[in-house]
Amino acid sequence: MSTPTPTRDTPTAPAHVPHRLSARRFTRHFLEMVVAMAVGMVALHPVWTLALDAVGAPWLMSNPYTGALVMATDMTVAMSAWMRVRGHRWRPIAEMGAAMYLPFLVLFVPLALGLIGEGALLLWGHVLMLPAMAAAMLLRPAEYASC
């Protein structure tokens, strides 16, 4: 006796299989995104340097405000690409992108008031990204702990 061939009307697997939430997967995913961000900074920084030199605006890289935004963009582009590879939808990618920019935007105020220097902006911007990312991930634990 032969096995019937599946058709559109006879599914071969259940439509939704619940995944077990895993702290290890959640942490691994977090670390993968941090690595992707570092790769983005290293790989895209020279592209910005060349492009800004070509248009006569190399000073934008040394300006603390635009420099921080360029760096956040480098990290966001690479991290977003990795998240798409991992199968994430656009909304969680946008939320994670916001986590890259928000610390810098908040720190622009004390920088403008002279309360912190450029080094502190970059240091604390990167440090605060990590809890901002974790917060974005905790908004959707199943999104990050089950893949």
Whether 54 maps to a domain, the answer reads yes
Nearest alpha carbon to residue 102 among 78, 131, 137, 143: 131
Whether 9 maps to a domain, the answer reads no
Provide the domain limits for residue 98: 23-145
Distances (CA, A) of 53 to 42, 74, 120: 18, 17, 26
Whether 105 maps to a domain, the answer reads yes
Number of domains in the chain: 1
Whether 17 maps to a domain, the answer reads no
Alpha-carbon dihedral sign for residues 20, 24, 30, 35: negative
Whether 121 maps to a domain, the answer reads yes
- What is the chain's pLDDT, residue by residue, as a tens digit (147 residues)? 555 555 555 444 444 444 566 788 888 989 999 999 999 999 999 999 999 999 999 999 999 999 999 999 999 999 999 999 999 999 999 999 999 999 999 999 999 999 999 999 999 999 999 999 999 999 888 888 766
Whether 5 maps to a domain, the answer reads no
Q: How many CB atoms lie within 10 A of CB 39?
A: 16
Whether 107 maps to a domain, the answer reads yes
| Residue 89 three-state SS | coil
Enter the pTM of the model: 0.78
Whether 14 maps to a domain, the answer reads no
